[in-house]
Amino acid sequence: MNATTTQAAVDHADAPYEVDYLNCKKGIRHWLITVDHKRIGVMYLWSVIASFLLGGVLALLIRAELWGPGETIMGPDTYNRVFTLHGLAMVFLFIIPGIPAAFGNFVLPLMLGAKDVAFPRLNLASFYVYVVGSVMALWAIIAGGVDTGWTFYTPYSTGVSGSVMMMTLAAFVLGFSSIFTGLNFIVTVHKMRAPGMTWDRLPLAVWAFYATAIIQVMATPVLGITLLLLAMERALGVGIFDPQLGGDPVLFQHFFWFYSHPAVYVMILPGMGVMSELITTFARKTIFGYRAIALSSIAIAVISFLVWGHHMFVSGQSAYAGMIFSFLTFLVAIPSAIKVLNWVATLYGGSISLETPMLYAIWFLILFTIGGLTGIFLGTMGTDVHLHDTYFVVAHFHYVMMGGTVMAFFGALHYWWPKMFGRMYNEKLAKIAAWLVFIGFNITFFTQFVLGSRGMPRRYYDYLPEFETLHKISTSGTWFLGVAVLMMIGYLFSSLKKGEKAPANPWGARSLEWSIQSPPIEHNFHEIPTVVEGPYEYPKAGAKA
Amino acid sequence: MASGSEGGFWLPPQGSTAAGGVDGLFDFIYWLNVFFFVLITGAVVYFVMKYKRKSDDQLATSQVGHNTLMEATWTFVPLILVIVIFAWGFRTYLNLTVAPEGAYQVKVTGQKWSWNFTHPDGTVNTGELHVPANRPVKLLLSSRDVIHSFFVPDFRIKQDAVPGRYTTAWFQAKAAGEHQVFCTEYCGKDHSAMLAKVLVLSEEEFDAGKWKVSKPPEGMSVADWGGDLYNKVGCKACHSVDGSKLVGPSFKGLFGREEKIQGQDPVMVDENYLRESIMDPQAKIVEGFAPAMPSYKGQLDDAKIDAIIEYIKTLK
Ligand SMILES: [Cu+2]
Ligand SMILES: [Cu+2]
């Protein structure tokens, strides 16, 4: 064991192994009715990984079709359905629930020193609601052939035969699952903290989960209202969005983005929370600017509700509305920038080890920085007019969502894997995969910035010959990503059987989840711990520990 | 590096008077991006190399958790920069969107999956917008079905065409030439084929008005021109030429056959029937089909309709 493990972990290092949460009640029946936050987290983990793989395969198909102009492997109707399903699966089934529902569920109570979340049954309900919502969504898309893109813009979406109502309903049901998880997290953070776990001793991941939960609880009802209005229009013929009935199609975009822009932060904030844990652990450093990071999460949660109109600069919305949205968009960028700079500053003077989770944290820093900086072009009205709805936007949000959230997801997966399953994976293979991800990602998406600024529109099945070379480069990058993900599946699954047994605290981290055995026992802690210091109090060289 | 009136690595050529202003702003943000990217990535790489853990028990040499001066700097410097960019961006946006008085006005109508241009004197063209160089042109956009978006990369303009309302855009082309138009709001199957061209003519050539008369392009027969229109005007989306049934009946073998009409006597397909089907599609609905065809009245002149009819005749 290394010198910096927490006192608690050292105590446990020699403690005899006790039956863990995976082994205590075996059999599928016990899993299906479990109220243990760890098991629910694990079930969520498998579900979101399945959704990610589905979305990923579709992404490979999209890029394969774009290998050359005209038809390559599928016709336009199929293509339109494939990119719609890719977007919906990635957004609603993977990224939104991903980090909070899988890792949040698992680690949040552990980090607080609690035996479970505040409402364990509601937690299980949220999982089942997620499953029902996912099935509804997949059914709507596949049976109804939804080809509207994940944004469902009216009147296109109300005019096509596909089951858009069903899909919106599914999104709403999925939203309820998020609300359940969110509500649970809020109450758990308020009520279940161990003695001594004051607000300024909360791990920053907890702050991020908390801020995310607030957004989820506040934003999802808007989706419900939109659904109700769509239903009224369809069933009762009240003109709301459909111009033929005297409605206003642009109104739909306001509703959609009023929900979906905050949802963008639901997607990224948990990833930011993970980042604070990874950077401090692998640099053995106290976080730089704890307060700034914690409060910026809350600032983001609030301001993110006021910027939706930046998706609509060319929709015909008034120039002055656009002006205000543009201004607020720049304001919401500042807290994200502060976070990045704080993480960089945290590296200063650290003892940095580049194990796999840390590699992903570095990728996050680099890629998210590109994603954030290129966002300036889009928040600026004069340049957004040219770039809006081109591949530039596609590249930008993939740098933020994949370069940010997905890197954090991979980081979290490799970081907490030993805690969740009690096994270490093959570090060498994991590092190779991480490098492949980085290289493949940049080949795929950096080219898309160039495509977009040169005028290539998004959601195009076919394109002009002048764009062919760049499309070919972009497509070839996805093969690296495909190989990397296959490798990941391989070494992670084989670790479950063959992996070395994980110690309680393989990385020498200091938050509470590392003070207990890997995998934890069913009730997490025999005795609720008493917390006497913050989560990042690493010793300094030369000082007396 | 990023731009120039000939276009560069990042941006297409500057075809309009406003493009230079957009590109200046683009360049400014671009270099700012490069600067901050190098700064941040540079710091990350430097720290990772300098503070790399060499032995298992190595501790951090600093545990600084806070530095007010630094934190204030990196809050306020970016804040000031983004306020500058914001203001610059808004001014550029106004230049780009507020048309000067007295501009030449063209009505642009989007429809699945083609663009129609109606000039002040009533001339209608599909897929080709003829404009004079060096004169401001104002576009009044609208749509017949779903939302489309009118994008001319060389002019740096883009504006949604929304059904049930008008939106506007404008540009002033710098010289005679040709510029690509894309639809950038997803609108279904042939979204990526919803293309058009802006054809900028010299002022004399434009005023002479020869471009208004529809006639086949040089060296093209009338029937071939009809085939070209079939593709460009959007008939292709609903009518095949190989006998397969799409939204509407196939054109293959149509001419000269007897057609069953809903609620009416069958008719013989001749020139008059074809003409009526295009101008007033609801007059006779073919059995087994929905009344889904839009009228092309006011959009296709006689010469074009004749050409399409000639083309249909060739499809035996
Ligand atoms: Cu947004
Ligand atoms: Cu369109």
What is the band of A69 on the pLDDT scale with cuts at 50, 70, 90? very high
Pairwise CB contact (< 8 Å): B22 & A385: yes
List chain B pLDDT tens, one digit each, 316 residues: 444 577 789 999 999 999 999 999 999 999 999 999 999 999 999 999 999 999 888 888 888 888 889 999 999 999 999 999 999 999 999 999 999 998 999 999 999 888 999 998 878 888 889 999 999 999 999 998 899 999 999 999 999 999 988 999 999 999 999 999 999 999 988 999 999 999 999 999 898 878 877 777 777 888 888 998 898 888 888 899 988 888 899 999 899 899 999 988 899 999 999 999 999 999 899 998 988 898 888 778 788 888 999 999 998 8
- pLDDT of A430 > 60? The answer is yes
Confidence (pLDDT) at A187: 95
Contacts 24+ apart (CB under 8 A), B302-306: B303/B213, B303/B214, B303/B215, B304/B214, B304/B226, B304/B229, B304/B233, B305/B275, B305/B278, B305/B279, B306/B222, B306/B226
Confidence (pLDDT) at B141: 95
Tell me the two tokens of residue A147. Answer: 């080809």
Pairwise CB contact (< 8 Å): A463 & B192: yes
Q: Is residue A182 part of a domain?
A: yes
Domain tally, chain A: 1
β-bridge mates for residue B268, sequence order: B258
What is the band of A87 on the pLDDT scale with cuts at 50, 70, 90? very high
Structural domain including A295 reads 7-460+469-515
- Write the CB contacts of A270 (distance below 8 Å, at least 6 apart in sequence): A98, A99, A100, A103, A104, A205, A208, A209, A212, A405, A408
How many Å is the Cα radius of gyration of chain B? 28
Confidence (pLDDT) at B246: 87
Specify the DSSP class assigned to residue B282.
G
With H, G, I as helix, E, B as strand and everything else as coil, classify residue A375: helix
- pLDDT of A63 > 60? The answer is yes
Q: Is residue A473 part of a domain?
A: yes
Model confidence pLDDT, tens digit, residues A492-517: 999 999 999 999 999 999 999 999 98
The whole-angstrom separation of Cα A272 and Cα A289 is 14
- Write the CB contacts of A135 (distance below 8 Å, at least 6 apart in sequence): none
With H, G, I as helix, E, B as strand and everything else as coil, classify residue B16: strand
Give alpha helix (H) positions in chain B.
19-50, 68-97, 203-208, 222-229, 271-279, 302-314
Give the count of Cβ contacts less than 8 A between chain A and B: 277
- pLDDT of A80 > 70? The answer is yes
- Write the CB contacts of A529 (distance below 8 Å, at least 6 apart in sequence): A8, A113, A194, A512, A515
In chain B, where the domains are located: 1-36+76-213, 222-314
Model confidence pLDDT, tens digit, residues A360-403: 999 999 999 999 999 999 999 999 999 999 999 999 999 999 99
**Of the candidates A43, A304, A31, the residue with the CA atom closest to the CA atom of residue A177:** A43
CB B184 within 8 A of CB B272: no
β-bridge mates for residue B201, sequence order: B132
Closest chain B residue by Cα to residue A251: B162
Residues of chain A neighbouring B139 (CB-CB closer than 8 A):
none
**Mean pLDDT, residues A278-300:** 91
Ligand nearest to the backbone CA of A325: 1
The C-alpha torsion from A473 through A477 and A479 to A484, rounded to 10°, is 170
The whole-angstrom separation of Cα A343 and Cα A340 is 5
Spacing, Cα A223 to ligand 2 middle (Å): 26
Confidence (pLDDT) at B153: 96
**Mean pLDDT, residues A332-355:** 92
- pLDDT of A209 > 90? The answer is yes
Confidence (pLDDT) at A544: 55
Q: What is the CATH number of the domain that holds A117?
A: 1.20.210.10
The whole-angstrom separation of Cα A518 and Cα A544 is 29
pTM of the full predicted structure? 0.86
- pLDDT of A113 > 70? The answer is yes
Pairwise CB contact (< 8 Å): B43 & A344: yes
Pairwise CB contact (< 8 Å): A349 & B62: yes
Q: Is residue A34 part of a domain?
A: yes
Mean pLDDT is lowest, of A1-10, A248-257, A405-414, B124-133, for A1-10
Q: Give the minimum alpha-carbon distance from B272 to chain A in angstroms, rounded to a whole number.
A: 32
What is the band of A231 on the pLDDT scale with cuts at 50, 70, 90? confident
User: Is A324 in the B-facing interface, judged by CB distances under 8 Å?
Assistant: no
**What angle do helix axes A204-236 and A105-112 make, rounded to 10 degrees?**
140
- C-alpha distances (whole Å) from A17 to each of A11, A13, A14, A419, A518 are 13, 9, 9, 14, 9
Q: Is residue A536 part of a domain?
A: no
Closest chain A residue by Cα to residue B18: A382
The whole-angstrom separation of Cα A156 and Cα A281 is 49
* Ramachandran class of B196: left when φ > 0, alpha when ψ lies in -120 to 50, beta otherwise: beta
CB B127 within 8 A of CB B229: no
* Strand order from edge to edge, sheet including B104-111: B124-126, B114-118, B104-111, B137-143, B167-171
Q: Is residue A400 part of a domain?
A: yes
What is the band of A278 on the pLDDT scale with cuts at 50, 70, 90? very high
Residues 116-155 of B with CB under 8 A from A: 145-147, 149, 151, 153-154
Tell me the two tokens of residue A521. Answer: 């026992």
Residue-averaged pLDDT of chain A: 89
The whole-angstrom separation of Cα A373 and Cα A403 is 13
CATH of domain B1-36+76-213: 2.60.40.420
Spacing, Cα B91 to ligand 1 middle (Å): 22
- C-alpha distances (whole Å) from A185 to each of A214, A291, A419 are 9, 20, 20
Confidence (pLDDT) at A160: 61
Confidence (pLDDT) at A4: 37
CATH superfamily membership of B222-314: Cytochrome c-like domain (1.10.760.10)
Spacing, Cα B195 to ligand 2 middle (Å): 9
Q: Give the minimum alpha-carbon distance from A71 to chain B in angstroms, rounded to a whole number.
A: 12
CB A44 within 8 A of CB A127: yes
What is the band of A543 on the pLDDT scale with cuts at 50, 70, 90? low
- pLDDT of A129 > 80? The answer is yes
Residues of chain A neighbouring B187 (CB-CB closer than 8 A):
156
